[in-house]
């Protein structure tokens, strides 16, 4: 029996945490009407998920919210490094690293930088920005059921306070509804991986005296390995508000009720090495570190994003960043298909691109926890060489029909999705490199060019690629932005002095590079590429599933 439809919307997002809100933001930037529903009445109030890596901040820069996020994160702007200690008062002190970006070398690779912004501070920024872009975001609303057919998804929603139900018809549904995702369960999608790794209870507390003990050690996190009170200490404001992650052993019969306020305070005193510390417990929340990846990233017109698709160990904040990057990958593809300049097959590349990245990243996150000896995780780190952090954060690569250029060896099997080392050279399937440019008197990064449309960058020679790009775009009805790079008056973009855009993009001075709206290189010309117009028609057609 068909249901009476109350509302229609191109995209329905289920889940209003970091990934759902980011999906709304990215769709809003692309002008795609959508509805987001979140069962809770408001955004998160718990300070967690704080590490936003440079790639995520690049995406937020393009989406126009980087500055607002940094303002929300200003109280922790000077916190860097990870400390490991027997206690805060003893001599057993070891910095695993002191700076995220020692020497400031990251500025050569990106216009953005890493940002420490807790989830309870970040989510309100995303919520305000998404609503300002016209998104309909409905908190206190839950998904009751959904059915899909070849033309769309019919979902029943319910207001959790008033109980009123309504039926929404959407072209597509994005499930960002967490690790226990009811949508994933309804689709019957299983998960693989190592499973549960360890369990913690996150304890928020006030302790004004602790700031004096910490002193000028402005760490991101301090792993405290006192046998009487092991755990991880995280500053919230560096003064009186703190978080302590205490190991929890439910497999040994330990319950959440065992973490009384008194016991939590005793654990904190033992871990910090301050036996008379005045502690006021303000909150507790269990969390589970796990390594799991969905066997598929969706079915039909329903897609999984964030924790519904993958769970990762928290060390390095890979899980939240990977989820936000899921949302970015999916948003431009939904926009392109809904607007008609890409075929539905483009959406099939979401699984092909993001799932191998999650498999490689989740394994690296578990290894990172072992390397850092995260309290509660008693696993020895592997002995083999591991991928560098920049390779994980900026170097991950895609292999799918939406990357018609040559594929990096091994990427189809998943292990090549994250290379061992990062090289800032344009590679088909990889992130487009950062380069400072001047455009009509304005300084901008190449990364600022990529959001709404594919971009064709071509050199200063005869202009053949530029002319062919404009011609092909008209014929295919694709909003391709064709930009010439050079120092002449006829060029759109001028690299800053000393920069070699062609070398950075792996082409000759008369070459061309096609970059997708998400800032990933789809294709670059070879010396004997053939006549520009048919070559570009073929490349664009394949990238957008039009061929």
**The domain that contains 240 carries what CATH number?**
3.30.9.10
Strands (E) across 241-324 are located at 241-248, 280-294, 298-299, 302-304, 310-311
The answer as to whether 313 is a domain residue is yes
As for how many domains the chain has, the answer is 3
Task: Report angle CA 228, 233, 234 to the nearest 5 degrees.
Answer: 170
Q: Check residue 227 and give its pLDDT.
A: 85
User: Is 58 found in the same domain as 162?
Assistant: yes
How far is Cα 517 from Cα 206, in angstroms, rounded to an integer? 45
Q: Check residue 287 and give its pLDDT.
A: 84
Our measurement of the distance from residue 244's CA atom to the centroid of its chain's CA atoms, rounded to an integer in Å, reads 25
**The domain that contains 176 carries what CATH number?**
3.50.50.60
How far is Cα 306 from Cα 313, in angstroms, rounded to an integer? 13
Last residue of a domain, one of 329, 354, 371: 371
Report DSSP state, residue 547.
Answer: -
How far is Cα 442 from Cα 390, in angstroms, rounded to an integer? 29
**The domain that contains 522 carries what CATH number?**
3.40.30.120
User: Is 316 found in the same domain as 461?
Assistant: no
User: Is 258 found in the same domain as 128?
Assistant: no
User: Is 533 found in the same domain as 446?
Assistant: yes
The answer as to whether 160 is a domain residue is yes
Q: Is the dihedral of CA 470, 475, 476, 478 positive or negative?
A: positive
The answer as to whether 412 is a domain residue is no
User: Is 318 found in the same domain as 279?
Assistant: no
* 264 Cβ contact partners less than 8 Å away, ≥ 6 residues apart: 201, 203, 205, 244, 246, 279, 281, 284
Structural domain of 258: 195-290
pLDDT tens digits for the chain (547 residues)? 467 888 999 999 999 999 999 999 999 999 999 999 999 999 988 777 788 999 999 999 999 999 999 999 999 989 888 999 999 998 889 998 888 887 788 899 999 999 999 899 999 999 999 999 999 999 999 999 999 999 999 999 999 998 899 999 999 999 999 999 999 999 999 999 999 888 999 999 999 999 999 999 999 999 999 888 899 999 999 999 999 999 999 989 999 999 999 999 999 999 999 999 999 999 998 888 899 999 999 999 999 999 999 999 888 789 899 999 999 999 999 999 999 999 999 999 999 999 999 999 998 888 888 877 777 777 777 666 677 888 899 999 999 999 998 655 444 444 478 888 888 889 999 999 999 999 988 999 999 999 999 999 998 777 899 999 999 999 999 999 999 998 887 888 999 888 899 999 999 888 999 999 999 999 999 876 679 999 999 999 999 999 6
The answer as to whether 509 is a domain residue is yes
Our measurement of the distance from residue 455's CA atom to the centroid of its chain's CA atoms, rounded to an integer in Å, reads 22
The answer as to whether 379 is a domain residue is no
Q: Check residue 72 and give its pLDDT.
A: 94
Radius of gyration of the chain, Cα coordinates, nearest whole angstrom:
24
User: Is 318 found in the same domain as 308?
Assistant: yes
User: Is 188 found in the same domain as 333?
Assistant: yes
pTM of this prediction? 0.94
User: Is 249 found in the same domain as 167?
Assistant: no
The answer as to whether 419 is a domain residue is no
The answer as to whether 398 is a domain residue is no
Strands (E) across 75-210 are located at 82-85, 93-97, 115-116, 136-139, 141-149, 152-159, 165-175, 191-206
The answer as to whether 209 is a domain residue is yes
Contact present, 521 and 399 (Cβ < 8 Å): no
User: Is 136 found in the same domain as 185?
Assistant: yes
User: Is 169 found in the same domain as 271?
Assistant: no
Which strands, in side-by-side order, build the sheet including 436-439? 442-445, 436-439, 494-495
Last residue of a domain, one of 348, 371, 394: 371
SS (H, E, C) 308-349: HCEECCCCCCHHHHHHHHHHHHHHHHHHHHHHCCCCHHHHHH
Give me 24's structure tokens: 């709304």
Best CA proximity match to 305, nearest among 187, 184, 134:
184
Contact present, 139 and 38 (Cβ < 8 Å): yes
Tally of CB atoms within 10 A around 255: 9
Last residue of a domain, one of 274, 290, 306: 290
Q: Check residue 1 and give its pLDDT.
A: 45
Q: Check residue 99 and give its pLDDT.
A: 83
User: Is 127 found in the same domain as 58?
Assistant: yes
User: Is 450 found in the same domain as 482?
Assistant: yes
Beta-strand pair 494-495/436-439 = antiparallel
Q: Check residue 23 and give its pLDDT.
A: 98
User: Cα torsion for 229, 235, 237, 239, to the nearest 10°?
Assistant: 50
Q: Check residue 2 and give its pLDDT.
A: 63
């Amino acid at each position: 029996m068909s249901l009476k439809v109350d509302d229609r919307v191109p995209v329905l997002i289920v889940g209003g945490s970091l990934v759902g809100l980011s999906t709304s933001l990215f769709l809003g930037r692309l002008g795609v009407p959508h509805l987001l529903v979140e069962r809770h009445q408001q955004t998160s109030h718990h300070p967690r998920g704080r590490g936003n890596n440079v790639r995520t901040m690049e995406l937020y820069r393009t989406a126009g919210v980087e500055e607002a996020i940094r303002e929300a994160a200003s109280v922790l702007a000077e916190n860097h490094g990870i400390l490991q200690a027997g206690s805060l008062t003893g001599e057993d002190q070891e910095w695993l690293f002191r700076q995220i970006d020692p020497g400031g070398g990251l500025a050569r690779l990106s216009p953005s930088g890493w940002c420490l912004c807790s989830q309870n501070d970040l989510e309100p920024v995303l919520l305000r920005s998404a609503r300002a872009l016209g998104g309909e975001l409905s908190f206190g609303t839950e998904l009751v059921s959904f059915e899909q057919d070849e033309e769309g998804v019919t979902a029943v929603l319910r207001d959790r306070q008033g109980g009123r139900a309504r039926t929404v018809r959407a072209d597509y549904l994005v499930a960002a509804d967490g690790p226990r995702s009811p949508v994933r369960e309804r689709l019957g999608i299983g998960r693989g991986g190592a499973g549960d790794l360890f369990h913690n209870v996150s304890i928020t507390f006030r302790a004004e005296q602790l700031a004096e003990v910490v002193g000028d050690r402005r760490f991101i996190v301090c792993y405290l390995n006192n046998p009487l009170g092991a755990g991880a200490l995280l500053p919230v404001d560096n003064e009186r508000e703190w978080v302590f992650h205490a190991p929890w052993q439910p497999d040994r019969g330990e319950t959440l009720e065992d973490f009384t306020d008194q016991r939590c305070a005793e654990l904190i005193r033992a871990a910090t090495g301050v036996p008379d510390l005045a502690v006021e417990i303000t909150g507790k929340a269990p969390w589970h570190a796990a390594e799991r990846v969905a066997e598929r990233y969706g079915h039909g017109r329903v897609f999984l994003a964030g924790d519904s698709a993958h769970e990762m160990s928290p060390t390095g904040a890979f899980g939240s960043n990977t989820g936000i990057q899921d949302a970015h990958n999916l948003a431009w593809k939904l926009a392109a298909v809904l607007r008609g300049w890409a075929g539905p097959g483009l959406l099939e590349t979401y699984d092909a691109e993001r799932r191998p990245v999650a498999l490689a990243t989740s394994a690296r996150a578990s290894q990172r926890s072992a390397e850092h000896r995260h309290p509660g995780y008693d696993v020895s780190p592997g002995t083999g060489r591991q991928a560098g952090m920049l390779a994980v954060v900026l170097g991950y690569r895609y292999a799918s029909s939406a990357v018609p250029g040559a594929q990096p060896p091994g990427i189809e099997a998943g292990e090549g999705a994250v290379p061992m080392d990062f090289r800032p050279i344009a590679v088909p399937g990889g992130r487009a490199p950062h380069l400072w440019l001047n455009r009509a008197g304005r300084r901008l990064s190449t990364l600022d060019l990529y959001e709404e449309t594919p971009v064709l960058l071509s050199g200063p020679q005869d202009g053949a690629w530029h002319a062919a790009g404009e011609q092909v775009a008209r014929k295919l009805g694709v909003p391709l932005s064709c930009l010439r790079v050079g120092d002449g008056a006829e060029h759109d973009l001028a690299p800053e002095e000393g920069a070699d855009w062609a070398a950075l993009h792996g082409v000759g001075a008369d070459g061309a590079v096609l970059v997708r709206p998400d800032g990933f290189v789809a294709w670059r010309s070879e010396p004997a590429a053939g006549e520009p117009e048919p070559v570009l028609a073929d490349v664009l057609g394949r990238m957008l599933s039009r061929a």
